[in-house]
Amino acid sequence: MAKYRAGVIGLGWMGMLYDMAERIGDFFNVDDVDRPTPELDIHRKIYHHDHPGKEGLPTSYSEAFWNRPDVALVAAADRDQKRLEAFKARYDISALYTDAGEMLRTEKLDLVAVATNVKGRADLTCLAVENGAKGIVTAKPMVHTLEEADRMVKVCADAGVPLNCGAISTTHPSFAKAKELIGIGAIGDVLSIEAPRPGAQHQSWSYFVDGSPAWVIGIGDKDRRGTGTDEFRGPGGSDEFTGQGMMVTENELAVYFRPGAPHLRLTGTAGEIVIPTMATGFKLWQDIETAAGISRIEAPWPDPQFVGPYGAVYGLADVIDCMEGRLDEPKNSGRRVALALEVEIALKQSSARGGVRVDLPLEDRSLRLNYDWFR
């Protein structure tokens, strides 16, 4: 018998559609009730993404819940009746709601996926906790404002509810292996971290930052608003950071953000851990004593190796591991995403002021980021 009752709020791509259809780039206003929906294959046998070595991993939260024997998917909420009907056809579940609050009050869920647009995500997360949720996963990006991030993190922390904010690469078990290798000194003491951007939507670097951010310097930020360039970005609307810079923690760890950098580089006194792109796996370089002296050579990466793309299954697994006492915090926890959001906003402020140092935490918690893809 399943241990946990689960429900999904928002039956868009991460909520449900990824495992039923190919992605479409049709846009809509976040307040629209009747939204573009692709041609659906309700009984699709192969999921949206192929996973080498892990064939058929679900991408959506609905399917991730459905595939776990310890979870009973029992309900869904969406304002779009077409999507509710598709959910019912796929899972033979009749507990369908157009009001998420009514679902949370009625169904008494243990696990909740908040897969709506960014607008209102903080309110829904807090409402889920208020109604007894024991674990929460959300789509990315987490929120728009620092205040919303603060509220989500505090409400969940006060209630002891693990919060995972986004099915990003960091949720993959290989990232835990990387942290384990660092812990046993495989690359010596970590000197610096490098990433192409602070990426409040996708911030693998923050998983490896233990100290609190102390200050940032940023330069070269360009205004992207109104300059959408592809089918998924439409008319534009993002003001995400596009320049380069650095963040320094209270314990003097430096994190560098440089366009063109690998997805993640962890440099230590005796080696490096690198994941060049999200299409490749981890690489381990270690300083080894050779006949010619100390040489930095590539060493085999121990299993598990990163496999992408990735789905909602890993973030959900982290949340359940936390609920059952095997993990202290999800790898892509709300706290870590909130940290990256604040760093990104501070880098924008620094660049706008000519590259001056900006100390953290920021006082104005109404500051925000806008995202063009995830309106």
Stronger pLDDT, 222 or 205, i.e. the higher one: 205
Who contacts 308 (Cβ-Cβ below 8 Å, separation ≥6)? 169, 172, 278, 279
pLDDT in tens, 243-282: 999 999 999 999 999 999 999 999 999 999 999 988 889 9
The partner residues of 145 in beta bridges, in order of sequence, read: 368
> Is pLDDT at 211 greater than 60 in this prediction?
yes
Who contacts 129 (Cβ-Cβ below 8 Å, separation ≥6)? 136, 155, 156, 159, 161
Residue 125's closest CA among 104, 144, 107? 104
Who contacts 293 (Cβ-Cβ below 8 Å, separation ≥6)? none
pLDDT in tens, 282-326: 999 999 988 888 999 999 999 999 987 677 999 999 999 999 999
Q: Can you give the pLDDT at residue 40?
A: 86
> Mean pLDDT, to the nearest integer, of 323-351?
97
Q: Can you give the pLDDT at residue 57?
A: 79
> Is pLDDT at 51 greater than 60 in this prediction?
no
> Mean pLDDT, to the nearest integer, of 13-38?
81
Q: Give the whole-number percent of the chain exceeding pLDDT 70.
A: 91
> Is pLDDT at 64 greater than 70 in this prediction?
yes
Instruction: Please write down the HEC assignment for all residues of the chain.
Output: CCCEEEEEECCCCCCCHHHCCCCCCCCCCCCCCCCCCCCCCCCCCCCCCCCCCCCCCCCCHHHHHHCCCCEEEEEEECCCHHHHHHHHHHHCCCCEECCHHHHHHHHCCCEEEECCCCCCHHHHHHHHHHCCCCEEEECCCCCCEHHHHHHHHHHHHHHCCCEEECCCHHHCHHHHHHHHHHHCCCCCCEEEEEECCCCCCCCHHHHHCCCCEEEEEEECCCCCCCCCCCCCCCCCCCCCCCCEEEEEECCCCEEEECCCCCCEEEEECCEEEEECCCCCCCEEEEEEEECCEEEEEEECCCCCCCCCCCCCHHHHHHHHHHHCCCCCCCCCEHHHHHHHHHHHHHHHHHHHCCCCCEECCCCCCCCECCCCCCC
Stronger pLDDT, 31 or 213, i.e. the higher one: 213
Q: Specify the pTM.
A: 0.93
Burial class of 223 by CB neighbour count within 10 A (0 to 12, 13 to 18, 19+): exposed
Q: Can you give the pLDDT at residue 173?
A: 93
Stronger pLDDT, 73 or 25, i.e. the higher one: 73
pLDDT in tens, 136-195: 999 999 999 999 999 999 999 999 999 999 999 999 999 999 999 999 999 999 999 999
Burial class of 215 by CB neighbour count within 10 A (0 to 12, 13 to 18, 19+): middle
pLDDT in tens, 25-34: 777 777 778 8
Q: Per the structure block, which two tokens stand in for 33? A: 């009730």
Q: Per the structure block, which two tokens stand in for 106? A: 């009625």
> Is pLDDT at 360 greater than 60 in this prediction?
yes
Neighbours of 209 (CB within 10 A): 20
Neighbours of 34 (CB within 10 A): 11
Q: Can you give the pLDDT at residue 1?
A: 66
pLDDT in tens, 112-127: 999 998 989 999 999 9
Q: Compute the half-sphere exposure of residue 295: CA atoms within 13 Å on the CB side of its CA.
A: 7
> Is pLDDT at 236 greater than 80 in this prediction?
no
Complete domains list, the chain, with CATH = 4-169+311-331 (3.40.50.720), 171-306+337-359 (3.30.360.10)
Report the interhelical angle of 146-159 vs 334-352 (nearest 10°): 160
> Is pLDDT at 83 greater than 60 in this prediction?
yes
